[in-house]
Amino acid sequence: MQHHEVHRRWERRIVSPAMILLLALPVGHALARCGGSPDSTARRSVSWAARTMGTYVRITMATDDSIAMSPEAGRALAVFHRVDSLMSNWTATSEVARINREAGGAPTRVQPEVGVVLEASLRLWRQSGGAFDITVEPLVRAWGFIGGPRRVPSDDEIRAALARVGAQRIHYDPPTRSLRFDDRGVSIDLGGIAKGYAVDVAAESLKAHGVKDALVDLSGNMVAIGSPSGATGWRIGIRDPRDRIPYLARLAITGEAISTSGQYEQFVARDGRTYGHIIDPRTGRPSEGLISVTVVSPSAMECDGWDTPLFVMGPLEAKRKAHELDHVAAVLIQPAAGGVDTMWVEETLRDRLILEPAARSFIQVRYF
């Protein structure tokens, strides 16, 4: 009997007493330093946080009136609860769970927001040559990333799950929002893209209600609106996938979205190996070759959507694809066994990326 160890480092770290305090809203937060310009003396960074979509969301605003901003923050937080109830892959009561039960039998009409994410998912499937595929659900479940517990499935289990995978088996008609699967074995998982969608909608809600300077962050899926006081943009840290220091580098972001996905946040460890939660739909196994993918793009859904297939593609193909897509800029971290990892930074981000001095000894930066 082999020993299975299940890790969820991100959650272990984040569920701290400090985090519980954060839930008492609002709280000041040091994410962005205030002050700087003379007319910004009254402005501070204020955060609102909530547990949602299997993780935490935090909305930070640079404001001089946190009371007046509370309803706007509340409206934006409600977006996450709504998208969670529609697209969660963990509950039997979500709209996606209903779709998975019904769409293999007869065509079913889906909720408009699910329709938007479905259309984007199918476009990504085509554009990524199948590396992004929402029909990976049976595989994600076999590895225990849905439903749990995390485990390494047998070759037979992987083969059986693989036989149910392939987005060509999904038929979606946008005008009627009608969805049909080829058979009952097909199941969808929107976990690789739904968070980004929710972040976009929450950011739109903030902007529509006059919020000028805010950062929406759902576990690494972010939209930056305006800037903190006295700054020209929000400085977003790229986490060290090996946890030696908090951040390897920072990127200045304003009026756009960024996401970072790592094989470090959710993984199964066995026999000295770790298996991440992003699965190659062609092999049925967790992708290897990269340990962190950051995407910058105008929309959080594009960022979240693309970080997953870039992982699957691996360094060479991911660089090619990021170049090809005008609206996607990427930072990829390629591991070196026992050596110095490489951070591949797309040329368009060169001037905006600042490497932490402490990272110089274990990261080499290269541009593509």
Cβ proximity to Mg ion: between 220 and 228 the closer is: 220
280: contact with Mg ion by CB under 5 A: no
For ligand ADP, the binding residues in 180-239 under the rule CB under 6 A are: 189, 191-192, 195, 219-220
Residue number closest to ligand ADP, CB atom: 191
The β-bridge partners of 276 are 267
- What count of other Cβ atoms lies within 10 Å of the Cβ of residue 82? 14
Q: Find the binder of Mg ion among 307, 309, 330, 335 (CB under 5 A).
A: 307
94: contact with Mg ion by CB under 5 A: no
Q: Site size for Mg ion, by CB under 5 A? A: 4
Q: Distance between CA atoms of 366 and 192, rounded to whole angstroms?
A: 27
Q: Distance between CA atoms of 301 and 319, rounded to whole angstroms?
A: 20
CA proximity to 222, closest of 195, 189, 191, 262: 195
99 binds, among ligand ADP, Mg ion, none (CB under 5 to 8 A by kind): none
* Among 134-142, 249-257, 279-287, 297-305, the segment contacting Mg ion (CB under 5 A): 297-305
132: contact with ligand ADP by CB under 6 A: yes
Cβ proximity to Mg ion: between 34 and 165 the closer is: 165
308: contact with Mg ion by CB under 5 A: yes
Q: Find the binder of ligand ADP among 72, 113, 133, 346 (CB under 6 A).
A: 133
CA proximity to 190, closest of 285, 308, 49, 75: 308
321: contact with ligand ADP by CB under 6 A: no
192: contact with Mg ion by CB under 5 A: yes
Residue number closest to Mg ion, CB atom: 308
140 binds, among Mg ion, ligand ADP, none (CB under 5 to 8 A by kind): ligand ADP
Which tokens sit at 104?
A: 């293999």
Q: Rounded to 5, what percent of the chain is helix, strand, coil?
A: 35, 25, 40
CA proximity to 274, closest of 13, 6, 10, 12: 6
In sequence order, which ranges of the chain are alpha helices (DSSP H)? 9-14, 17-22, 66-87, 95-102, 112-127, 137-142, 155-162, 194-208, 300-324
The CB-side HSE value for 334 (13 A sphere, CA atoms) comes to 18
Cβ proximity to Mg ion: between 26 and 309 the closer is: 309
- Do the strands 267-270 and 5-7 form a parallel or antiparallel pair, or are they unpaired? antiparallel
281: contact with ligand ADP by CB under 6 A: yes
Q: Site size for ligand ADP, by CB under 6 A? A: 23
Q: Find the binder of Mg ion among 72, 113, 256, 304 (CB under 5 A).
A: 304
Per-position x/- string for 241-280, each x denoting binding to ligand ADP as judged by CB under 6 A, each - no binding: --------------------x---x-----------xxx-
Given a contact cutoff of 8 angstroms between Cβ atoms, the answer to whether 97 and 84 are in contact is no
Kindly report the CA angle at 261 between 258 and 264, in degrees rounded to 5?
Answer: 150
Which tokens sit at 155?
A: 């070759």
Smallest gap from Cβ 253 to Mg ion, in A, equals 17
Which tokens sit at 1?
A: 């009997």
Given a contact cutoff of 8 angstroms between Cβ atoms, the answer to whether 29 and 47 are in contact is yes
Q: Which residue, chain included where needed, has tokens 């020993």?
A: 3
Cβ proximity to ligand ADP: between 153 and 281 the closer is: 281
Q: Find the binder of ligand ADP among 140, 167, 268, 345 (CB under 6 A).
A: 140
Cβ proximity to ligand ADP: between 34 and 57 the closer is: 57
The β-bridge partners of 273 are 270
Smallest gap from Cβ 328 to ligand ADP, in A, equals 14
Could you list the residues that contact ligand ADP (CB under 6 A)? 89, 132-134, 136, 140, 145, 189, 191-192, 195, 219-220, 261, 265, 277-279, 281, 304, 307-308, 312
